[in-house]
Amino acid sequence: MGGWELPSFNRTFYPSKHEKGFRKLEYYSQFFDLVEVNATFYNSSLSSEQSSQWVKDVAANERFVFTVKLFRGFTHTFNATKNDVLSFHRLLDPLRETKRFGGLLIQFPSTFTKSSSRLTYLIKLRAAFPEDRLLLDLRHRSWSEEPFYKFCHENGFNLANIDLPRLQSHIPFNSLAWDGVAYFRMMGRNEAEWIKPRSNDRYLYPYSEEELQDLVQRIKRLNTQTTYVVFHNDRQAFSLVNGKQVEHALHPSKHLNAPINLLSTFPQLKTFCEPPSINNELFSPTFKSESLFIHSNKFNADNSAAHIAPSPGHIIKNIKRKKS
């Protein structure tokens, strides 16, 4: 998911009470292996001191990886400067040095269509970040063609697989891997809200069992060395539930934990999740009765048959009543 400071997570994920000095990222990282840093899209001046603190926060999880979203000055307003490039390099250095950096996510708007001048612009971005894995989020369907895939291979880009509402201009949901890495971004399919300007419910979408099963099969067919899956349908915390469902389907023999309040809100998770043991060495006393779960993860699928637990869609109305 895009960050660890989402309002819906405060209700269903983080402890309602915690001691002084509690750090959300540290808590998050005890069960997550990946986070997309979204704050960098809005602010190019985050410092290396901040990213160094991120590294300290996740020190207990040796598998933890950050992907970082590029500043919108490079992708939307196109007013980024050389100083913005330098600032980003400084921010990324602590992640690179500690091998915590999974890639730089470059998300363009759906109005960014394919053209020769824009291909040239992408090459300039590659030159600005020559050593990093560049994950392109291109949303217009004009980019979905074999010549562009060849361009990506030749210039060292990874094209992310983006699941979006099925609008005519949107790129189709692909299953592509590049140099042993696949990157899936699950944005939800709430078409009615997506087309509304500035809708707060754009990401209010619970993936169904059938839709999650399709994702699982895509991951298994790719069989890549590393597959990143990031759910962005964070409204009402559906990303958390769908992520646990996919993780269970890919790793049916794996022991999974989930927070007590998440299990209470989404009881169907109880069929394969349970609260963490109080004696679990991953938890300090502050974290005794709460758990983190992996919904944004590097998945290596088991060979056993996948099964998707019931979807949360049927309890949307109950959640809304609880909020009111």
According to the model, what pLDDT value does residue 311 have?
Answer: 62
Distance CA(314)–CA(324), nearest Å, equals 18
According to the model, what pLDDT value does residue 176 have?
Answer: 95
Sequential pLDDT tens for the chain (324 residues):
677 888 888 888 888 888 889 999 998 887 778 999 999 999 999 999 999 999 999 999 999 999 999 999 999 999 999 999 999 999 999 999 999 999 999 999 999 999 999 999 999 999 999 999 999 999 999 999 999 999 999 999 999 999 999 999 999 999 999 899 999 999 999 999 999 988 989 999 999 999 999 999 999 999 898 999 999 998 888 988 898 899 899 999 988 888 787 888 889 999 999 887 755 444 433 332 222 233 333 444 443 444 566 666 544 433 343 443
Q: Which residues have CB under 8 Å from 134's CB, separation 6+? A: 103, 104, 106, 125, 126, 156, 157, 158
According to the model, what pLDDT value does residue 285 have?
Answer: 33
Angle at 287 between CA 282 and CA 292, to 5 degrees: 70
Chain centre distance of CA 145? 25
According to the model, what pLDDT value does residue 4 have?
Answer: 86
Whether the Cβ atoms of residue 108 and residue 139 lie closer than 8 Å to each other: yes
Q: Which residues pair with 37 in a beta bridge?
A: 68
132 secondary structure, DSSP code: S
Kindly report the backbone phi and psi dihedral angles of residue 30, in degrees, each rounded to the nearest multiple of 5, phi listed first: -70, -15
Q: Which residues have CB under 8 Å from 300's CB, separation 6+? A: 226, 227, 250
Whether the Cβ atoms of residue 27 and residue 287 lie closer than 8 Å to each other: yes
Burial 273-293 (b: 16+ CB within 10 A, else e): bebbeeeeeebeebbeebbbb
According to the model, what pLDDT value does residue 309 have?
Answer: 60
Nearest residue to 183 (alpha-carbon basis) of 238, 130, 225: 225
pTM: 0.86
Domains in the chain, please, with CATH?
7-323 (3.20.20.410)
Reduced to 3 states (helix: H, G, I; strand: E, B; else coil), residue 312 is helix
